[in-house]
């Protein structure tokens, strides 16, 4: 039997929203290629776990920049990379991939270093899983091709020396099913949610989530709130805050990750710390988004989306409540929902998978 060609997907601790596995499933569904996902645990040094997604996303950028910083830091980082790049080279030799797809800046930097050291010629495609190009010396270890969400990222890459023909605008590698108003009504009933507007809080954990949960729950019977809990260690503190609200019965703390998307689909407004995967899914589902950022990178992405009339930005906790009332009291929710759908309707995971399986080095 003839061996199917292989696509090797490299990821690292900074991956957002399960991009590697989502893309692997999309490529496998095409039936033409085998897919191997190379986690950082299989090629890199051990990194801290349990960190917030936003913090983790910043780690990759810092590690990438550090490897090109002051000469002393550079040598130290490259010394750590020595075993890492050897393991990547061994994986390339073992799986003989047609292309290597990287879904974080750090994974791309490590692959580029391994490629340089080992001298193999396998092309790489890098996905920028953000709405703006990360700042810094990002394109030094250039991929052969890039997949980006929008034309502005493509232009920024071109300014940094990447030929525009090597950059494909194909959206982001996240998807969610579409639901009708009738399905939302039935879904709310199945999940035990009241008929009042549902506010979905994508929890980043920590103080800000407790405060946001409390502020929304304190609005009483006007709204109900679903807060997804990624780390069960946060549950007691969140429960205590919910129990102290005016109407604790209007609060759902969801711990089953397989139901997070379902709760989001049944919601009327989504409140989230910047997370490209959550925001992009909301665009596809037509959900209005209130987003806040704690880092410069997060705020930069949100400000870009605000300039495109795609999300509402909360600059502090109190802003969130005011923006919720704006969205549930008029036509603004429909306005933002429609803008999000228009933003994403031309892109699909299937098209992205087709591009990867048909890729020929340019």
285-307 pLDDT tens trace: 999 999 999 999 999 999 999 99
pLDDT digits (tens, 9 = 90+) for 161-187: 899 999 999 999 999 998 999 999 999
Which of 111, 78, 144, 80 shows the shortest CA–CA distance to 12? Answer: 111
Any bridge partners for residue 34, and if so which? 6
Q: Between these two residues, 274 and 205, which has the higher pLDDT value?
A: 274
What token pair was written down for 52?
């917030």
Above 60 in pLDDT, residue 56? Answer: no
Q: Measure the CA–CA gap between 232 and 126, rounded to whole angstroms.
A: 33
pLDDT at site 326: 95
The Cβ-side half-sphere exposure at 116, using a 13 Å CA radius, reads: 13
What are the percentages of helix, strand and coil residues in the chain, rounded to 5? 50, 15, 35
Report how far residue 18's alpha carbon sits from residue 67's, in angstroms, rounded to the nearest whole number. 25
* Pick from 147-156, 225-234, 266-275: least confident: 225-234
Q: What is the arithmetic mean of pLDDT over 130-143?
A: 77
CA-closest candidate to residue 18, choices 196, 281, 265, 293: 281
Write the pLDDT tens digit of every residue in 214-240. 889 888 888 999 999 888 888 898 888
């Amino acid at each position: 039997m003839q061996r199917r060609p292989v696509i090797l997907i490299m990821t690292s601790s900074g991956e957002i929203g399960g991009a590697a596995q989502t893309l692997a499933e999309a490529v496998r569904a095409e039936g033409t290629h085998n897919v191997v996902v190379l986690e950082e645990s299989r090629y890199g040094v051990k990194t801290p776990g349990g960190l917030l997604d936003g913090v983790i996303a910043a780690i990759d950028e810092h590690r990438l920049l550090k490897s090109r910083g002051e000469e002393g830091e550079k040598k130290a980082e490259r010394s750590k990379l020595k075993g890492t790049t050897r393991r990547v080279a061994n994986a390339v030799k073992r799986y003989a991939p047609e292309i290597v797809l990287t879904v974080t800046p750090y994974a791309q930097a490590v692959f580029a270093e391994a490629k340089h050291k080992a001298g193999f010629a396998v092309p790489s495609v890098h996905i920028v899983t953000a709405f703006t190009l990360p700042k810094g010396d990002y394109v030094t270890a250039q991929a052969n091709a890039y997949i980006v969400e929008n034309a502005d990222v493509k232009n920024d890459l071109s300014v940094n020396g990447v030929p525009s023909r090597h950059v494909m605008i194909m959206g982001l590698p996240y998807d969610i099913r579409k639901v009708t108003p009738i399905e939302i009504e039935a879904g709310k009933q199945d999940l035990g949610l009241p008929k009042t507007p549902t506010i979905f809080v994508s929890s980043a954990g920590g103080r800000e989530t407790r405060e946001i949960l409390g502020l929304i729950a304190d609005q009483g019977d006007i709204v109900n709130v679903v807060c997804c809990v990624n780390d069960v260690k946060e549950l007691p503190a969140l429960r205590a805050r919910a129990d102290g609200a005016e109407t604790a019965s209007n609060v759902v703390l969801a711990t089953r990750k397989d139901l997070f998307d379902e709760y989001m689909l049944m919601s009327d407004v989504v409140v989230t710390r910047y997370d490209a995967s959550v925001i992009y899914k909301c665009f596809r589902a037509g959900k209005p988004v209130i987003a806040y950022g704690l880092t410069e990178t997060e705020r930069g992405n949100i400000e870009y989306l605000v300039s495109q009339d795609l999300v509402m930005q909360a600059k502090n906790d109190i802003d969130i409540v005011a923006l919720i009332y704006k969205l549930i009291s008029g036509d603004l929710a429909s306005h933002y929902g429609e803008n999000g759908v228009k933003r994403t309707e031309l892109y699909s995971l299937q098209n992205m998978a087709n591009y990867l399986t048909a890729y020929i080095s340019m």
